[in-house]
Amino acid sequence: MLEASNLECVRGERSLFADVSFRLDGGEMLYLQGTNGSGKTSLLRMLCALTPAVSGEILWRGTPIGKLGEEFRSQLCYLGHQNAIKEELTPLENLLSAARLAQAALDEDAALDALALVGLRGREDLACRYLSQGQKRRAALARLVNEKRPLWVLDEPYVALDPAAVELVAGLIGAHLQAGGLAVLTTHQTVAVPAGAVRGLWLGDGDATQRSR
Ligand SMILES: Nc1ncnc2c1ncn2[C@@H]1O[C@H](COP(=O)(O)OP(=O)(O)OP(=O)(O)O)[C@@H](O)[C@H]1O
């Protein structure tokens, strides 16, 4: 369903990686790891059509993502390294506004349930600027509770989370894979997801190596 072939990434004067190829089908996750600065975020941005590849091709269901444009973006949930939340809005307002932007049906009761699930009960009406780093991350990740789009691209989703929240997010990813979804994620932490097949991709030292488990 998602296929990358011979991707090369150049940032500034440096080639970060070349010849990166992989294929992901429904129910599979690509677990992207590598040294700091090896190009993990750059690769995720390429997969979301936010950064062009110097060479190579990315296909979604057999069609280049550049050709699909909005059709591809409507299939994609991208959570970047930075929390995509507005500090002046509350977790509830952020979640409802993200759903509106994504044209996803989410009523207030479902949003409150999602926030309770990620441990923000009692904090749903507090401006995000007053939340701790981990709580802000939870507010951003609450989007995943009701996220139905098939491709999740998550940049370091576990950063700033305590062990219980890490387990919760891994569980959401596992449920997504079990329902036939695909996920690509970077993390410096080793976290098992409870379901789905995992493919590993390592970036670093100019090489890309792949392994499956
Ligand atoms: N617009 C840019 N111009 C020049 N260099 C850039 C640009 N964007 C990123 N880089 C460089 O590309 C390299 C890879 O960055 P990237 O964020 O993809 O790495 P990463 O593997 O995600 O790192 P980390 O593990 O530290 O998060 C870094 O050395 C970074 O400075």
For residue range 88-120, list pLDDT tens digits in order. 999 999 999 999 988 888 999 999 999 999 999
Q: Structural domain of residue 134, as residue ranges?
A: 86-148
DSSP E strands, 12-159: 14-24, 28-34, 55-60, 63-64, 76-79, 151-155
Centre of ligand 1 from the C-alpha of residue 110, in Å? 37
For 35, half-sphere exposure in the C-beta direction (CA atoms, 13 angstrom radius) is 9
Q: For position 164, which CATH number holds?
A: 3.40.50.300
Helix (H, G, I), strand (E, B) or coil at 105: coil
Same domain, 25 and 68: yes
Residue whose CA is closest, atom 2 of ligand 1? 11
Same domain, 70 and 155: yes
Residue whose CA is closest, atom 11 of ligand 1? 11
N-terminal to C-terminal alpha carbon distance within the chain: 19
Residue whose CA is closest, atom 12 of ligand 1? 11
Task: List helix spans (H) across 54-132.
Answer: 65-68, 70-73, 91-101, 108-117
Write down the pTM of the prediction.
0.92
Centre of ligand 1 from the C-alpha of residue 52, in Å? 14
Report the number of distinct structural domains present in the chain: 2
Same domain, 138 and 185: no
Same domain, 57 and 98: no
For residue range 24-41, list pLDDT tens digits in order. 999 999 999 999 999 999
Same domain, 143 and 46: no
Domain contains 81: no
User: For residue 89, what are the contacts with CB-CB under 8 A and spacing of at least 6?
Assistant: 97, 127, 128
Same domain, 23 and 57: yes
| pLDDT by 10s per residue, the chain, length 213 | 999 999 999 988 889 999 999 999 999 999 999 999 999 999 999 999 999 889 999 999 999 999 999 999 999 999 998 878 999 999 999 999 999 988 888 999 999 999 999 999 999 999 999 999 999 999 999 999 999 999 999 999 999 999 999 999 999 999 999 999 999 999 888 877 777 788 999 998 645 555 444
Same domain, 142 and 195: no
Amino acid at 136: K
Same domain, 195 and 107: no
Q: How far apart are CA 135 and CA 119, in angstroms?
A: 8
Same domain, 157 and 143: no
Centre of ligand 1 from the C-alpha of residue 37, in Å? 5
Domain contains 80: no
Mutate to test the pocket of ligand 1, among 10, 40, 45 (most ligand atoms within 8 A of CB): 40
Same domain, 179 and 204: yes
Closest among 213, 170, 212, 210 to 34, alpha carbons compared: 210
